[in-house]
Structure 1
């Protein structure tokens, strides 16, 4: 009888034990996927090349990495584009760092990454050829992303993002097909991966 009682009890509690064990198993990890943004139009001011005079002042285009959309300056934007300049929203504590590495191989925010905010005199993502995300070829008058250059941004919500600029020209044409006289510039194509849980791992 005792043996039978033990078996019945074991059978009765087996589903509960199995359920408990199942609840202790961690949820499956869903791989993060990169988001592709194509032809985000943010042309620079129209400038008279002979005099340097601004003929038409164009606005920055404000972008929310969390929402994957253009927003207004009054909303919680993370980065803003205009010509080759990329701003970060310092009023919302957005910070950025420029690092070297392969986009896919950066699986965590590097310990030596130096995050900065924009100031009145400097940008967290530096401007100028070779300083930030791009090179300018004075022979061909073209702007091209620096290979192996990745931007890290901590968003207004405190989440980390890695960004790779793929093209500065409309339609993301091959470099050899870019004609600076006819190919529209200031059209960003980039991909980014957002870690929504606030951790430093991608």
Structure 2
């Protein structure tokens, strides 16, 4: 009997590392591992204008440029601006939170009607944004109202260097966007609530590394948290 128990224990000791390795391998294969915290909203592979191109026409593409789309935090609504009627209906309203514009929809604006180059210019929205060089899960409080008022962050896009505003670097050699790690955006919304935002990738499947400039894009993955009680508490862990 003792021999049987010893054999069983030995087998368990031998199998445990294999089970752990298997679990670890599954986690490594999951591109979303660690991004869901039970409080934040995680958006995976939200398709931008995948029919757009940087030139007059490209293989598999049918038009020049990229149609703008808007995104609303409250109900995860994506709103396309395909024509003048769409723009007239949506832009000068406070019914959206983010605008994805520019090449590959990679240039992101909050809804700020007072900024001349904002898509919502002339509208009633009064959003403001502060860039924080800090991991998303470590941003526990929104900055002061004074920090929002003095912030010079108007567009979130290509950062020319590590000190510049922006959520990604861009290689002129490979033409690949590289998301900047540990960069979070605190947002003061028009209704007075506070939020935080992390833009994760513009490539389908959230790959750990992109080496092929033809990787499917733009497919946006990002996460955000809106504090509903009006306080500056942005703790999500």
TM-score, normalised on structure 2?
Answer: 0.60
Alignment of 1:42-191 (within 5 A): 42-43=48-49, 45-48=52-55, 56-71=64-79, 74=90, 76-82=95-101, 83-91=105-113, 92-111=125-144, 114-115=147-148, 124-129=154-159, 130=161, 131=164, 132-175=166-209, 177-180=210-213, 182-191=214-223
Per-residue CA shift, 1:136-193, capped at 9, x if unaligned?
1233321021111101112232211111111110121221x4411x212221101111
Match of 1:33 in 2: 39
Structure with the bigger RCO (C-alpha within 8 Å, sep 6+) is 1
Structure whose CA Rg is larger: 1
* CA gap 1:36/1:162 in 2 versus in 1, 3 angstroms: same
More strand by share: 1
Q: Distance in 2 between matches of 1:117 and 1:111?
A: 10
* CA gap 1:34/1:112 in 2 versus in 1, 3 angstroms: same
Q: 1:43 deviation in Å?
A: 3.8
> Conserved in 2, the CA contact under 8 Å of 1:97 and 1:124?
no
Q: Distance in 2 between matches of 1:183 and 1:113?
A: 41
* CA gap 1:86/1:113 in 2 versus in 1, 3 angstroms: farther
Q: Distance in 1 between matches of 2:75 and 2:127?
A: 15
TM-score, normalised on structure 1?
Answer: 0.69
> Conserved in 2, the CA contact under 8 Å of 1:161 and 1:194?
yes
Q: 1:80 deviation in Å?
A: 1.0
